[in-house]
A and B are shown apart, each in its own frame.
Chain A
Amino acid sequence: MSTSTLTDRYVHDVVRRLPADQRQDVATELRGTIADTIEARRPEDAEQAEHAVLTEMGDPIHLAAQYADRPNVLIGPTLYSTYIRLLVILLCTVLPLVTVALVIIDVLDGVGAEGILGTVAWAVFGVGAQIIAWTTVVFALLERAQRRRHTRAAGNWSPKDLTQITPRDRAGGSAWASAVFSAAALGLIVWQQVAQPFRTDAGEQIAILDPALWNGWIWPLLIGLGAAVVAQLLRIISGGWTRKLVLAYLVIEVLQVVPMVWILYQQELFNPAFLAEVNQDWTTPDEVYTGAAVIVVILAVGGVVGRFRQIATKAS
């Protein structure tokens, strides 16, 4: 046979969405069932009957989902409201901030009105699309992880598993703020490297942070920021800090603080070309970097201690 039949194509389209160990079995049964159904109609035109039967069986994607016994959703009802809320917050805070920052840079560079309009359009659609895409990816992964946990723990639930209601959810607000802050920091670091937004007097476009960082220290920092976003989202979803989450937070903080302190200590944060342009003849004193490093450490330790305290008070 040179061409595959409609049934062959239909069956293939269903089983390729199933776990490998079920494919053969489902395919044989489905093929038999479709043949049985066609035969039972005693068709005059076999091809037409095949077409009709397959139409009744419906979209292979739906049928495969039924066989695999999994819902056909990317983000389920438990996460949906959080997802929408975070998207709205990001689009209402980060997006305007980035847009305004880009416009300010354009104005400082003396770009004309047309160029500024172009920048605004790029920021709103380009950055907006990035924000939506990455948020969706993170939530889709959370959804999958959650579903796996639920199927494993099904039946073991007891009222003890209920999360504590924190009196006044000021902690919830700060978790949102931290998530947005980490996401914004991550976005800005990547953006300033990709877009090279600063224009020197010589008319050259350069990055603000030292490009040499991309050969090393920036990576643990970026991974730490990404993990921080996920940890804060998990904290929001579970309604409070758990022991596991705080331990994860501790690791994430270390992941961010160690490279940050090292970068500051070595004074490798800013692009030398950018510093030369901004500072002109003035050299930044060492104390500024040392001071910044100390502040970073104090903030991180404060954050970790505060969270440990929260679970301690909850446990007592």
Chain B
Amino acid sequence: MQGQAQELRRGTVVLACLVLLEEPQYGYALLETLEAAGVAVEGNTLYPLLRRLEKQGLLTSEWNTDESRPRKFYSVSTEGAVVRAELVDEWRGLVTSISALTKEDS
């Protein structure tokens, strides 16, 4: 059951990142924000994921060296914003379909 739930959550992390990274954020801060928002994700999943999204052109990044340690800030690119809009639509559609299905069930 835990494996299935994890499988279900996997795609939502990408969507949550695309939504949250409207404001530039660095890895650990994003992890905390996600956690506070109730999206459970491990660091060893999130950090490589951010790089993959960047490689796919959905995120851009910039090093900030003003603070005590250099941090890589990620934010959504124009292409990322387009994908995000599509994913949000997809998500709403899924919620509608699944709630309709589960209503019939009970």
Contact = CB atoms under 8 A, between A and B. Distances in A.
Interface string A20-43: 000001101111110111001000
Interface in A13-66: 25-26, 28-33, 35-37, 40, 56-58, 62-63, 66
B48 A36 contact: no
A62 B71 contact: no
Between B28, B48, B49, B52, the greatest number of chain A beta carbons within 10 A of the residue's beta carbon is seen for: B48
B44 A36 contact: no
Q: Determine the interface band of chain A, counting residues with CB < 8 A from chain B.
A: 20 to 34
A18 B64 CA distance: 23
B57 interface: no
Contacts of B70: 28, 32
A32 B68 CA distance: 10
B72 A67 contact: no
B44 A57 contact: yes
Contact of A56 (B43, B47, B48, B71): B43
B68 to A, nearest CB: 9
Interface residues of B, number: 20
Given A26-B51, A36-B27, A67-B51, A58 B44 contact: yes
Interface string B29-51: 10010000000001111011101
A69 B27 CA distance: 18
A68 B52 CA distance: 9
B103 interface: no
B69 A32 contact: yes
Most B CB contacts (10 A, CB to CB) among A26, A29, A35, A37 go to A29
Contacts of A56: 42-44
B60 to A, nearest CB: 14
6 contacts: A32-B27, A32-B69, A32-B71, A32-B72, A57-B43, A66-B44
Interface of B: 26-29, 32, 42-45, 47-49, 51-52, 55, 63, 69-72
Interface of A: 25-26, 28-33, 35-37, 40, 56-58, 62-63, 66-67, 69
Given A29-B47, A31-B69, A32-B72, 5 more contacts: A35-B69, A40-B32, A56-B43, A57-B44, A69-B52
Q: List 6 tightest A-B contacts by C-beta distance, closest first.
A: A66-B48, A36-B28, A67-B48, A33-B27, A29-B72, A32-B69
